[in-house]
DNA sequence: TATTGTTATACTCTATAACTATA
DNA sequence: TATAGTTATAGAGTATAACAATA
């Protein structure tokens, strides 16, 4: 490829090939986007209809469910990759419905620990179970081996791209 | 598996297996979502910074670019899967910037044909070229064969799931 | 009556910036 | 001064519903 014999014809072929590859990448991206958006819209709609909850609220509860000892507002902000004011608003709503609670810190009185309440944990368990069922059903066109392949390919994609944290900061 | 010898122990194993699979599906979904969201956020941000355009506006222009003869408002609404009022608002903005134009129909005076202007076509060409470059770069962790595999797997996923049209209507 | 498109309204999510209380 | 969190505001995107003009 890099030999001195490389000539104008080869360059042209390479360019044609590059264009074809670019279009293939673009088609792949559009397919990736449409598959994901379609699943996400379905899940979002069902969460709203069946549980009266939005995806960000569900995500916040999911974060808390993984951390029984609770998380600070700023840590929630970091993990959900949204700014602080938005976390305040989501926690306000969930607290009003008694699904989460703010606990004052002894060590640092500026900060709160946010936790799921018992009611919140119970409610989340039901939602998470339904959510998992939807995901399993939506991915069921792929068998176990195909899902593993897809997981692997996406892992390659993810690990070699900059993280959102790096980009956002 | 369905023989009379199937006993409690087998059931338990199956259940354990099912749970493991479910968790694998959930992990796959989270990875699919985060890969896609990360790419989409990057693209959205660059479109805004470099071209002062939002993704829906870019998408609308992309629809028009594919149909030189133009599209009606309702056809744009259908293709973009958003309700009519939103299309009105996006077309209003693009028309104000003279990137698209509404043409009255002779046959049906209720309806418009929306087209790219020459300026719109020129502007879109520059944006589309940059966009394609970003997509190629973002997908570059996967080689050609891996991209083809991913495209194929997502095709399977897409073709055997209900279409958004069915779900939205 | 039905359809095309517009307008008005409301809601969610998001970011930015000014602010308060505490460290 | 710096940090944790709140408040206020603004903007994008979305849906719904009432409306006008035309078919």
Check residue B16 and give its pLDDT.
Answer: 66
Beta-carbon contacts of residue A156 (< 8 Å; ≥ 6 apart): B141, B142, B146
Whole-number Å distance between alpha carbons of B152 and B141: 17
Neighbouring CB atoms inside 10 A of A161's CB total 19
Whole-number Å distance between alpha carbons of B137 and B135: 5
Q: Are strands B100-104 and A100-104 parallel, antiparallel or unpaired?
A: unpaired
Question: If DSSP codes are grouped into helix, strand and coil, which group holds residue A169?
Answer: coil
Question: If DSSP codes are grouped into helix, strand and coil, which group holds residue B165?
Answer: helix
| Least confident residue range of B5-14, B81-90, B102-111, B151-160 | B5-14
Res. A136: pLDDT tops 90:
yes
B127-147 burial code (b ≥16 CB/10 A, e <16): beeebbebbbebbebbeeebb
Residue with CA nearest C1' of nucleotide C3:
B110
Residue of A nearest to B138 (CA): A161
User: DSSP H helical segments within B55-169, as ranges?
Assistant: 55-66, 73-80, 84-96, 118-139, 144-159, 164-168
| Least confident residue range of A106-115, B16-25, B56-65, B88-97 | B16-25
Average pLDDT over residues A113-141: 96
Nearest to A61 by CA among A97, A105, A106: A97
Read off the pLDDT band of A7 (50, 70, 90): very low
- Residue B155 and residue A41: Cβ atoms within 8 Å? no
Beta-carbon contacts of residue B60 (< 8 Å; ≥ 6 apart): B76, B80, B87, B90, B91, B94, B100
Instruction: Name beta bridge partners: A116.
Output: A100
| Least confident residue range of A6-20, B45-59, B70-84 | A6-20
DSSP A56-79: HHHHHHHHHHH-TT-B-HHHHHHH
Nearest to A60 by CA among A43, A80, A42, A81: A80
Res. B167: pLDDT tops 70:
no
**Quick check: A80 and A142 in contact, CB under 8 A?**
no
Residue B59, both tokens:
């998408």
Whole-number Å distance between alpha carbons of B132 and A22: 7
**Quick check: A159 and B38 in contact, CB under 8 A?**
no
Res. A155: pLDDT tops 60:
yes
Q: How far is the CA of B93 from the C1' of C7 (A)?
A: 15
- Residue A31 and residue B144: Cβ atoms within 8 Å? no
Res. B1: pLDDT tops 80:
no
**Protein-proximal positions, strand C, CB < 7 A:** 3-9, 12-17, 21-23
For the segment B111-161, what is each residue's pLDDT rounded down to a tens digit?
A: 999 999 999 999 999 999 999 999 999 999 999 999 999 999 999 998 876
Average pLDDT over residues A47-59: 94
**Which pTM was predicted?**
0.84
For the segment A61-84, what is each residue's pLDDT rounded down to a tens digit?
A: 999 999 999 999 999 999 999 999
Whole-number Å distance between alpha carbons of A112 and B131: 42
- Residue A21 and residue B144: Cβ atoms within 8 Å? yes
**CA of A108, closest CA in chain B: separation in Å?**
33
Percentage of residues in chain A with pLDDT exceeding 70? 83
**Out of B32, B150, B167, closest to residue A36 by CB:** B32
Angle at alpha carbon of residue A31, lines to A59 and B74, rounded to 5°: 90
Beta-carbon contacts of residue A144 (< 8 Å; ≥ 6 apart): B21, B24
Check residue B111 and give its pLDDT.
Answer: 96
Percentage of residues in chain B with pLDDT exceeding 90? 78
CA dihedral B68, B70, B74, B77 (to 10 degrees): 40
Read off the pLDDT band of A22 (50, 70, 90): confident
Res. B21: pLDDT tops 80:
no
Whole-number Å distance between alpha carbons of B100 and B92: 9
Mean pLDDT of chain B: 87
Nearest to B138 by CA among A22, A57, A77, A10: A22
Res. A168: pLDDT tops 60:
no
């Amino acid at each position: 490829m890099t030999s001195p014999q490389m000539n104008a014809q080869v360059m042209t072929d390479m360019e044609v090939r590059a264009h074809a590859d670019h279009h293939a990448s673009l088609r792949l991206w559009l397919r990736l986007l449409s598959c994901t958006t379609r699943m996400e819209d379905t899940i979002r709609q069902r969460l709203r209809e069946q549980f009266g909850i939005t995806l960000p609220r569900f995500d916040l509860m999911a974060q808390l469910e993984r951390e029984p000892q609770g998380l600070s507002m700023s840590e929630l902000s970091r993990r959900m990759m949204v700014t602080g004011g938005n976390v305040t608003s989501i926690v306000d709503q969930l607290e009003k419905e008694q699904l989460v609670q703010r606990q004052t810190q002894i060590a640092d009185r500026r900060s709160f620990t946010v936790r799921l309440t018992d009611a919140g944990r119970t409610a989340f368990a039901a939602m998470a179970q339904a959510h998992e069922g939807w995901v399993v059903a939506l991915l069921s066109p792929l068998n176990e081996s195909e899902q593993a392949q897809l997981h692997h390919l996406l892992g390659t994609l993810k690990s070699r791209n900059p993280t959102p944290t790096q980009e956002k900061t």
